[in-house]
A = this chain, B = another copy of it.
Amino acid sequence: MTSPLRIALAGLGTVGSGVIRLVNENGAMIAQRAGRPIEIVAVTARDRNRDRGVDLSAYRWVDDMNDLATDPEVDCVVEMIGGSDGPAYNLTRNSLLHGKSVVTANKAMIAHHGMELAGLAEDQNIALKYEAAVAGGIPVIKGLRDGASANRIERVYGILNGTCNYILTTMEQHGTDFEAVLKDAQELGYAEADPSFDIDGVDAAHKLAILAALSFGTAVNFDAVDVAGIRNIMAADIGQAKALGYRIRLLGMARLDGGKLFQRVNPYLVPENHPLAHIDGSTNAVVAEGNFSGRLMFQGAGAGDGPTASAVVADLIDIARGDSGTVFSMPAGEMTCSEPAESGNRTGKSYIRFIVADKPGVLAEITAAMRDADVSIESLIQTQKTAEGSVLISMVTHQSLERDVVASLDKLSDSSSLQGAPVVMHLLSDQD
């Protein structure tokens, strides 16, 4: 057996503890698969004295994590600190500059600095790996980079945030409204005390930007993702969607159209016969449609210490086996900077829901605004009274330009009849 791959863990939260448990429990098998042992030699975190439920006594404690970048006894740094900038970024950058491979679970850092860091790694012919950054334990980075590598990917999309999917599917099963389910999810530990990163779609957008870069060979462009979350979805919306044969899921969706990159995180109405309609609870799933493979789907746990550690250690096994290929599917220097696609040019059906005052003429006002913007209504699903005495109006448009839908709602923005902004969701189709 050849010399071990010596790793240092930076950050000892739940993922870090999971990696320690995994390496201890599966170590002998990992050595067989990797061709050499993977050995934790050093650890670092903010607070040395916190009880983490794992025994750290076998590992050298490093007070200043920056020392890891130059530590002669460390081959590979595992960054589990989190945050797009600051300590995580500095440690990753310095480690790569000093010729150490890095494995990270940090989606924000890759979404913001992936191109620069990939360039550094490739210049030195070392590895930067981030399987755990997208969809937790599901090996979707390897699935796209290696498994689907022969294909031009037509589009990549999926359920990228387990918290949102848990909330939406719980609302679906129990007919409960968003706020109540969120509160339960927080008590159960499925949602953070400050849940905005998840429920406003930012976390999914980080992951989507990474998937798009891998799939299309375009430079990571997180700032160009068009993001909306799930705060405004009501149990009534889910019921209406169901009556139409759809389930509501927060999707990340990316496609390259005529050289322009379309990236959106948004709740979609997913047809019941689409595999994503059956992804419930905190499960994640990623769909990639290749020009030869057809539709591939990868599903599994999108978070949790075990699944995330599984992804981190799979990256370490790759490195131990000697894989130090490109960080994305192709060299970072050859990835193109694509112009963002104009979402207004897209065509599709939309679900629109209004809350309006219960008074005569409101429906006429809404339908006139839509007619004037060239948006034609396929079905007005239902109007129903809310507990507060307002009226809820839901409709589905015919195939329309998205810009026309926006224009129709703009016309109504000053209307005294509308109570709050309307909610718009796209019906998932092969054109998305």
A residues with CB within 8 A of B: 18, 22, 25-26, 29-30, 32-35, 131, 137-139, 142-143, 146-152, 217, 275, 278, 290-301, 304, 306-307, 309-314, 316-318, 321-323, 325-326, 329-331, 334
A278 CB contact (under 8 Å) in B139, B143, B278, B318: B278
Indicate whether A300 sits within 8 Å of B296 (C-beta atoms), given known contacts A29-B152, A146-B139: yes
CB closest residue in chain B, given A323: B323
Pair A310/B29 contact, Cβ less than 8 Å: no
A30 to B217, CA, bound (A): 11
Residues of B within 8 A of A294 (CB): 137, 300-301, 304, 306-307
Q: How many copies does the complex hold?
A: 2
Complexed CA–CA distance, A2 and B45 (Å): 43
B139 touches A148 (CB 8 A): yes
Measured CB to CB, the nearest residue on chain B to A321 is: B325
Does A139 lie within 8 Å of B296, measured CB to CB?
Answer: yes
Q: With the chains together, A309 CA to B292 CA distance in Å? A: 7
- On whether the beta carbons of A33 and B329 are closer than 8 Å, the reply is yes
Residues B146 and A314 in contact, CB atoms below 8 Å apart: yes
Is A22 touching B150 in the complex (CB atoms < 8 A)?
A: yes
Tell me the complex Cα distance, A292–B317, Å: 15
The listed residue with most B CB atoms (<10 A of its CB), out of A25, A33, A290, is A33
> Contact between A150 and B26 (Cβ–Cβ < 8 Å)?
yes
29 contacts between A and B (CB under 8 A): A18-B292, A26-B150, A26-B291, A26-B292, A32-B217, A32-B330, A33-B326, A35-B326, A137-B293, A142-B146, A143-B147, A146-B314, A146-B318, A149-B314, A149-B317, A150-B312, A150-B313, A150-B316, A150-B317, A151-B310, A275-B299, A293-B307, A294-B306, A296-B298, A296-B300, A297-B299, A299-B299, A322-B325, A323-B323
Name A150's contact: one of B30, B138, B292, B331 (CB within 8 Å). B30
Instruction: Report the Cα distance A26→B310, complex, angstroms.
Output: 33
Q: Which residues of B contact A304 (CB under 8 A)?
A: 294
Q: Distance in Å from the Cβ of A290 to the closest Cβ of chain B?
A: 6
A169 to chain B, nearest CB (A): 12
Contacts of A148 in B (CB 8 A): 139, 310, 314
Q: By the criterion CB–CB under 8 Å, are B330 and A33 in contact? A: yes
Which residues of chain B are within 8 angstroms of A329 by Cβ–Cβ distance?
Answer: 33
- A119 CB → nearest B CB, Å: 16
Nearest first, the 9 closest Cβ-Cβ pairs linking A and B are A139-B147, A150-B313, A293-B310, A292-B310, A137-B293, A296-B300, A292-B306, A32-B330, A149-B317
**Chain B residues with Cβ under 8 A from A25's Cβ?**
291
Kindly list chain B residues whose C-beta atoms are within 8 Å of the C-beta of A26: 150-152, 291-292
A217 to B142, CA, bound (A): 21
> Which residues of B sit under 8 angstroms from A32, Cβ to Cβ?
217, 330-331, 334
Chain B CB within 10 Å — which of A138, A150, A325 has the most? A150
Apart from A26-B292, A293-B307, 8 more pairs, CB < 8 Å: A30-B149, A30-B150, A32-B331, A139-B147, A149-B317, A292-B313, A293-B311, A323-B323
CB distance from A93 to the nearest CB of B (A): 25
Residues of B within 8 A of A322 (CB): 325
- Tell me if A314 and B147 are in contact (CB < 8 A): yes
A174 to chain B, nearest CB (A): 16
Residues of chain B within 8 A of A35, CB atoms compared: 325-326, 331
Assess the A296–B137 pair: CB atoms within 8 A: yes
Are A29 and B299 neighbours in the complex by a CB distance under 8 Å? no
Residues of B close to A317: CB separation below 8 A = 146, 149-150
A56 vs B26: C-alpha distance when bound (angstroms): 50
Interchain CB contact (< 8 A) of A290 among B299, B310, B331: B310
By a CB distance below 8 angstroms, the chain B residues around A33 are: 149, 217, 326, 329-330
Most central of A295, A298, A309, A323 by chain B CB within 10 Å:
A298
User: Bound state CA distance, A313 and B293, in angstroms?
Assistant: 11
